[in-house]
Amino acid sequence: MGVVEEIKQRIDIVEVISDYLPLQKAGRLFRSLCPFHPEKHPSFYVFPEHQSWHCFGACGTGGDVFSFVMKKENVDFGEALRLLAGRANVPIVLKQESDQEAERLRQMNELAAEYYYHLLLHSSAAEIVRSYLAKRGISSNAVEQFQLGFSPDSWEALREYLIHKGYEESELVASGLVIGKEHGGSYDRFRHRLMFPIRDVKGRVLGFGARALDDSLPKFINSPQTIMFDKGSLLYGIDLAKAGIKRQDLAIVVEGYIDVIIAHQYGFDNVVASMGTSLTEKQVGMLAKLTKNLTLALDADTAGEVAMLRGQGVIAQTFGRPMSVSGWTDVKYENLYNAKWRVAVLPQGKDPDEIIKESTEQWQQLLEQATPVVDYVFDIVASKLDLSKLNDKSSAVDQLLPVINEIKDPVYQAHYLQKLARLVEVEERTLAAALPRRRLSQPKQGEGKEALSTLMPFSSLPLEEYCLSLLLHYPQLHCQAGELSADYFMHPAYRQLFLAWCSAPQPESLGEDIAPALREHLQLLMSKIPPPLGEEEVGQALGDCIHRLREHYLRDLKIKEWLLISEAQSKGDTAEVEELQQLGVRLNTQLKQIFLKQRRGALG
pLDDT at 436: 57
- Verify that 358 and 389 share a domain, yes or no: no
Last residue of a domain, one of 359, 380, 401: 380
- Verify that 392 and 295 share a domain, yes or no: no
- Verify that 118 and 219 share a domain, yes or no: yes
Mean pLDDT comparison of 159-168, 209-218, 441-450, 568-577, highest-scoring range: 159-168
Q: Considering the chain, what percentage of its residues have pLDDT values greater than 70? A: 76
Asked which of 67-81, 247-261, 278-292 is least confident by mean pLDDT, the reply is: 278-292
Beta strands 29-32; 24-26: pairing state: antiparallel
- Assign 194 a pLDDT band (cuts: 50, 70, 90): very high
- Verify that 245 and 219 share a domain, yes or no: no
Asked which of 181-190, 357-366, 474-483 is least confident by mean pLDDT, the reply is: 474-483
- Checking if the pLDDT of 451 tops 50, the result is no
Q: Convert the pLDDT of each residue in 73-89 to its tens digit.
A: 888 887 888 888 888 88
Q: What CATH number does the domain containing 11 carry? A: 3.90.580.10
CA dist 135 → 132, 142, 297, 324, 487 (Å): 5, 14, 23, 44, 57
Mean pLDDT comparison of 2-6, 169-173, 410-414, 430-434, highest-scoring range: 169-173
Assess if residue 444 is contained within a domain: no
Assess if residue 172 is contained within a domain: yes
pLDDT at 322: 32
Mean pLDDT of 489-506: 79
Q: Residue 425: which region, alpha, beta or left (left: phi > 0; alpha: psi -120 to 50)?
A: left
Asked which of 269-278, 326-335, 504-513, 547-556 is least confident by mean pLDDT, the reply is: 326-335
- Checking if the pLDDT of 364 tops 60, the result is yes
- Checking if the pLDDT of 191 tops 90, the result is yes
Q: In a 10 Å sphere around its CB, with 0-12 CB exposed, 13-18 middle and 19+ buried, how is residue 290 labelled?
A: buried
Domain that holds residue 161: 97-226
Q: Is residue 195 within 8 Å of 149, Cβ to Cβ?
A: yes
Q: In a 10 Å sphere around its CB, with 0-12 CB exposed, 13-18 middle and 19+ buried, how is residue 578 labelled?
A: exposed
Last residue of a domain, one of 226, 244, 267: 226
386-409 burial, b at 16+ Cβ within 10 Å, e below that, comes to: eeeeebbbbbbbbbbbbbbbbbee
pLDDT at 369: 92
- Checking if the pLDDT of 548 tops 70, the result is yes
Asked which of 168-172, 308-312, 461-465, 515-519 is least confident by mean pLDDT, the reply is: 308-312
Assess if residue 441 is contained within a domain: no
- Verify that 556 and 596 share a domain, yes or no: yes
Assess if residue 576 is contained within a domain: yes
- Assign 602 a pLDDT band (cuts: 50, 70, 90): very low
- Verify that 462 and 577 share a domain, yes or no: yes
Number of domains in the chain: 5
- Verify that 76 and 119 share a domain, yes or no: no
* Average pLDDT score over the chain: 78
- Verify that 160 and 248 share a domain, yes or no: no
Q: Convert the pLDDT of each residue in 563-596 to its tens digit.
A: 666 666 666 667 666 665 665 555 566 555 555 5
Q: What's the rounded Cα separation, in Å, for the pair 36 and 514?
A: 25
- Assign 58 a pLDDT band (cuts: 50, 70, 90): confident
Assess if residue 440 is contained within a domain: no
Return the SS3 of 297: strand
pLDDT at 429: 83
DSSP 349-417: T--HHHHHHH-HHHHHHHHHTPEEHHHHHHHHHHHTS-TTSHHHHHHHHHHHHHHHHT---HHHHHHHH
pLDDT at 595: 52
Radius of gyration of the chain (CA): 27
- Verify that 42 and 60 share a domain, yes or no: yes
- Assign 458 a pLDDT band (cuts: 50, 70, 90): very low
pLDDT at 304: 39
- Verify that 24 and 45 share a domain, yes or no: yes
pLDDT at 456: 31
pLDDT at 586: 57
- Verify that 190 and 284 share a domain, yes or no: no
- Verify that 166 and 254 share a domain, yes or no: no
pLDDT at 107: 94
Q: What's the rounded Cα separation, in Å, for the pair 572 and 577?
A: 9
Last residue of a domain, one of 88, 121, 148: 88
Assess if residue 442 is contained within a domain: no
pLDDT at 377: 81
Q: What CATH number does the domain containing 371 carry? A: 3.40.1360.10
Assess if residue 220 is contained within a domain: yes
Assess if residue 443 is contained within a domain: no
Q: What CATH number does the domain containing 169 carry? A: 3.90.980.10
